[in-house]
Amino acid sequence: MRILIVDDHALLRAGVKHILSEHPDIEVAGEASNGAEALARIQAENWNAVVLDMSMPGKSGVELIKQIKAERPKLPILVLSMHTEDVYAVRTLKAGASGYLCKDNAETQLAQAIRKVAKGGLFMSQAVAEKLAVEMLSGTSDAPPHTLLSDREYQIFQLIARGRSVTEIADELNLSVKTVSTHKTRLMQKMNVANVAELIHYAIRHDLVPEENRMPE
């Protein structure tokens, strides 16, 4: 199986290659450090699966997934992410990914996950599967406010809840401060919160941010 690794950190790409070097049926045949490189390689070559990091500069991971699926609808995408939140995983799967694996579990589960998605299957934890099923079966009228955010709004919501300032978010996502501020205003309106403190409290109450990454209330 020819695999494309997409991650902006060379060290992490090397780690993935090292893990997969023990599995002769899986060949890391290409690497990309950003979304533009990934799309160029996907358009130019044939792949059995893409292993995609979610936290890269520029396009959000969800946006990149949608763009890849628009170019290659049948190409399986396995998301390899530092984020453990179930809601974040559900968003990637609804965008078109075939699997979601936390980097903490990569050493033991990566090869298994790649094989499964490359053969047309889905790979996710039981908690993610349950949350995905609930969201797919329930209507949006009773959906929690955070599930109604756009992909970019949700990404910025996550970063605010982790304590990032508007300027820091703009630098991290390669956006203007004005653009981030506009998204911040819209997401707070959608979530019906008056200030950042209420937003952080919401994130903690709904267990949307790991405890070690939370900004104090």
User: For all residues of the chain together, what is the average pLDDT?
Assistant: 86
Q: Does the structural domain 142-213 have CATH classification 1.20.59.10? A: no
The tens digit of pLDDT for each residue in 141-195 reads: 456 788 778 888 888 998 999 899 999 999 988 899 999 999 999 899 888 888 8
pLDDT higher than threshold 60 for residue 217: no
Task: Specify the CATH architecture of the domain 2-136.
Answer: 3-Layer(aba) Sandwich (3.40)
Task: Give 103 or 78, the one with higher predicted confidence.
Answer: 78
Amino acid 111: pLDDT: 96
Instruction: Please check whether the two domains, 2-136 and 142-213, share a CATH topology.
Output: no
Amino acid 213: pLDDT: 47
The pLDDT of 16-45, averaged and rounded, is: 93
CA of residue 95 relative to chain centroid, distance = 10
CA of residue 73 relative to chain centroid, distance = 18
Amino acid 58: pLDDT: 64
Amino acid 142: pLDDT: 58
Domain ranges of the chain: 2-136, 142-213
CA Rg value for the chain = 17
206: burial class by Cβ within 10 Å (0-12, 13-18, 19+)? middle
Q: What phi and psi values does residue 100 have, to the nearest 5 degrees?
A: -140, 120
Q: Give the Cα separation of 212 and 99 in Å (integer).
A: 25
Amino acid 127: pLDDT: 76
Q: Give the Cα separation of 123 and 202 in Å (integer).
A: 29
Task: Give 199 or 138, the one with higher predicted confidence.
Answer: 199
The tens digit of pLDDT for each residue in 79-106 reads: 998 776 666 788 888 889 999 998 888 8
Q: How many CB atoms lie within 10 A of CB 142?
A: 6
Share above pLDDT 90 across residues of the chain, in percent, rounded to a whole number: 47
Task: Give 153 or 140, the one with higher predicted confidence.
Answer: 153
Share above pLDDT 70 across residues of the chain, in percent, rounded to a whole number: 88
Amino acid 211: pLDDT: 58
Specify the range with the lowest mean pLDDT, choosing from 4-13, 38-47, 129-138.
Answer: 129-138
Q: Which of 140, 148, 138, 141 is closest to 191 using CA atoms?
A: 148
Amino acid 57: pLDDT: 66
pLDDT higher than threshold 60 for residue 140: no
